[in-house]
């Protein structure tokens, strides 16, 4: 139970993560068409696919994408290009918006629920659960895919939780 919102925590239906045993964390996740030069969007896509390989999502599944830092690789590329007076390719503008990959996931899996992208200053996991609980309580979604994704010098990580309403 979330004491701040007064709502029950969503129940985890399936979960997945990047990297997991057998993944090449150095090479990164498989390339994602239309998204270049960064592991951010491919990580989101691979953990979503892994979740949905375990169960068929409901059509009214929403997506909550949570990242404290966003797509650092793309941001760095754009910063360096601008600083050096170079042209920035249009794909970098497209993929620099986190809801671009959320829209890709929604389209790929036929999801018609809401899409929410947040960059919390506090606990990302708690933020994702809270956002999902609100969408479920409002009836905007029957399930929510929460994706927590971060790029870091210590390694890129992503976790996906497919959740539904109810108490644990």
Q: pLDDT tens digits for 42-74?
A: 999 999 999 999 999 999 999 999 999 888 777
CB 89 within 8 A of CB 107: no
Taken in order 133, 66, 55, 109, is the CA torsion positive or negative?
Answer: positive
How confident is the model at residue 76, as a pLDDT?
Answer: 74
CB 111 within 8 A of CB 57: yes
Round to whole Å and give the CA distance between 3 and 71: 31
How confident is the model at residue 168, as a pLDDT?
Answer: 41
Q: What share of the chain is helix, strand, coil (3-state, %, to 5)?
A: 35, 25, 45
Q: What is the mean pLDDT of residues 124-143?
A: 96
**pLDDT above 50: residue 162:** yes
Round to whole Å and give the CA distance between 30 and 62: 24
Q: Which of 25-29, 64-68, 89-93 has the lowest mean pLDDT?
A: 89-93
Q: Which two tokens stand for residue 116?
A: 């929410």
How confident is the model at residue 142, as a pLDDT?
Answer: 96
Report phi then psi at 134, rounded to 5. Answer: -65, -45
Q: Is the peptide bond before 59 cis (omega within 30 degrees of 0)?
A: no
**pLDDT above 80: residue 113:** yes
pTM of the model: 0.89
How confident is the model at residue 143, as a pLDDT?
Answer: 97
**pLDDT above 80: residue 5:** no
């Amino acid at each position: 139970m979330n004491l701040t919102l007064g709502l029950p925590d969503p129940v985890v239906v399936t979960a997945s993560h990047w990297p997991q045993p057998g993944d090449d964390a150095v090479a990164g996740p498989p390339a994602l068409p239309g998204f270049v030069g960064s592991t951010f969007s491919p990580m989101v896509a691979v953990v979503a696919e892994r979740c949905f390989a375990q169960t068929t999502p409901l059509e009214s599944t929403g997506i909550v994408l949570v990242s404290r830092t966003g797509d650092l690789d793309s941001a760095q590329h754009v910063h360096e290009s601008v600083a050096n007076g170079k042209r920035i390719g249009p794909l970098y503008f497209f993929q620099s918006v986190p809801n671009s990959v959320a829209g890709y996931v929604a389209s790929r899996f036929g999801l018609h629920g809401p899409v929410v992208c947040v960059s919390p200053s506090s606990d990302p996991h708690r933020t994702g659960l809270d956002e999902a609980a609100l969408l479920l309580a409002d009836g905007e979604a029957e399930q929510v895919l929460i994706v927590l994704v971060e790029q870091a010098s210590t390694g890129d990580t992503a976790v996906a939780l497919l959740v539904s309403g109810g108490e644990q």
